Amino acid sequence: MSNDVPPKKPSLFRSLKRKLVDELGAASDKWTVGEDGSNADKLREEKLKVLNKYDEGTGSFGEIFSQLGVELKATQEFSKRAPYRLNELLVSTDSWPFEELSQLDEHFGALAPGYSYRYLAPSSSVVPESVANNASNVIRLPSAMDLLVDDELKLAGDEIPDATLMDWLGRRSAAMNRLWTLRILSQLGILKGSEVPDDVPETAGGPRKAVAKSAPPTTELTDAQIRELVEDFVTSAKWQYDCESKQSGETPSWVWDKKARVRKLNEGGAIMALEPLLHHKEVSVRVSAATYLLPSSWALAFPVLRAALANCPGNERKRHSISACRHARWTSWMYLDGNLSFEDD
């Protein structure tokens, strides 16, 4: 066994100190003071610029670390009592219209340190501000938890009709936004599951969509083309889940790639070529295939989703476990809502 001890990573303080010394040294190299004292003023001015920059930066770092400490404490205390009932999170259980969030502070008391407001149904092209700006539509969350909800809403998936969940909800009714926000809060362990309503509201713009079925063939595909489309689907499924686990912004592109492959399989009447993937060793591939086969082959696809749901909330040590649970849930919700569609919304 080697006795070599891996070098310690420099602390932030030491890194900043090293950078400061380097920049002061660079200033000295730039303005060498002559024997007659020439350039002394210029060197002094250059060094003062460097010192002032770091003095200002140190103050900023101090403020940032101080705020992080406050938010960490708020999150820790909040998590001790989670999950909550909705009434415990709402600013008010009664209707109380407002124009600015600051009015909530004035009327209901200031936010606790480290907390922020979150709309259950934010204003959009569909949801007017007069509906969104109501105390019964706003909850209080630790700022870190609020960002966690945002991260979930920014994810894309096979089950989402277009782009990200946030994009899709931006064109849905206030009732649908509220329902999905409650679902995400429950999924993250913030809200009790019993607080999520079973009733599904109608989508904005009319009655709920019928679930998408396999389209009749419009093109001919060779066996080789079908194999290639299925192989590409498998690759995209793995990369999508990899990107999610690494919190990479590349996730939507892999979802779109999968949708493009499925569209071609559908056009060629070969959607059932995905059936063998329901038994693939990678859960990312199984859940992805089950999502697209669910509308036409419920009996085959749903057991795969049910198996993923049985492992919720997921195990970080198991590859793609958390993402599989998330997408199995979202697929089931979209299907039961009547919104599982593989056409762009």
Least confident range from 49-58, 177-186, 241-250: namely 49-58
141 and 178 both lie in a single domain = yes
> Residue 74: inside a domain, yes or no?
no
Q: Give the domain-ending residue among 159, 175, 195.
A: 195
Instruction: Say whether both 238 and 308 belong to one domain.
Output: yes
Give 284-331 pLDDT, tens digit per residue. Answer: 999 999 999 999 899 999 999 999 999 888 887 888 999 999 999 999
pTM across the whole model? 0.76
Q: Is residue 234 part of a domain?
A: yes
HEC string of 218-260 equals: CCCCCHHHHHHHHHHHHHHHHHHHHHHHCCCCCHHHHHHHHHH
The answer as to whether 64 is a domain residue is no
Which residue range is the domain that position 327 belongs to? 223-337
Do 239 and 178 lie in one domain? The reply is no
Is position 68 within any domain? Answer: no
Reply yes or no on whether the pLDDT at 344 is more than 60: no
Domain co-membership, 236 together with 290: yes
Token pair 């909040």 is at which residue? Answer: 78
Q: Per-residue pLDDT tens for 60-97?
A: 555 656 777 788 888 889 998 989 999 999 999 999 99
Q: Using a CB cutoff of 8 Å and minimum separation of 24, what contacts does 185-190 make? A: 185/89, 185/149, 186/83, 187/152, 187/313, 187/326, 187/329, 188/145, 188/148, 188/149, 188/152, 189/82, 189/83, 189/313, 190/82, 190/83, 190/84, 190/89, 190/141, 190/145, 190/149
Q: How many domains does the chain have?
A: 2
- Residue 164's DSSP bridge partners are 156
More confident residue, 49 or 145: 145
Comparing 43 with 150, the larger pLDDT belongs to 150
Identify the band that residue 192 occupies on the pLDDT scale cut at 50, 70 and 90.
very high
pLDDT band at 11 (very low <50, low <70, confident <90, very high): very low
pLDDT tens profile 16-59 = 555 655 665 666 656 555 556 566 676 667 656 765 665 555 55
In a domain, 165, yes or no: yes
Residue 274 shares a structural domain with residue 321? yes
Least confident segment among 48-62, 141-155, 186-200: 48-62
Q: Would you say how long the chain is, in residues?
A: 345
Do residues 190 and 266 both lie within one domain? no
Q: Is there a domain that residue 211 lies in?
A: no
Secondary structure of residue 84 in the 3-state scheme:
strand
Residue 37: predicted pLDDT? 59
Is 209 within a domain? no
Residue type at 107 in one-letter notation: H
Mean predicted lDDT score pLDDT of the chain: 83
Q: In this structure, what CATH number is given to the domain that contains residue 298?
A: 1.25.40
188 and 228 co-located in one domain: no
Beta bridge pairs of residue 84: 191
Does any domain span residue 218? no
Q: How many CB atoms lie within 10 A of CB 47?
A: 15
On whether both 239 and 287 belong to a single domain, the answer is yes
What local confidence, expressed as pLDDT, does residue 252 receive?
Answer: 83
All residues at 6 or more sequence positions from 55 whose CB lies less than 8 Å from its CB, including other chains: none
CB count within 10 Å of CB 305 equals 23
Question: What distance in Å separates the CA atoms of residue 304 and residue 87, rounded to the nearest whole number?
Answer: 35
User: pLDDT-based confidence at 212, cuts 50/70/90?
Assistant: very low
Interatomic CA distance for residues 345 and 332, integer angstroms: 18
Question: Final residue of a domain: which of 176, 195, 214?
Answer: 195
Are 123 and 183 part of one and the same domain?
yes
Residues 265 and 331 in one domain: yes
Helix (H) or strand (E) holding 140: strand 138-142
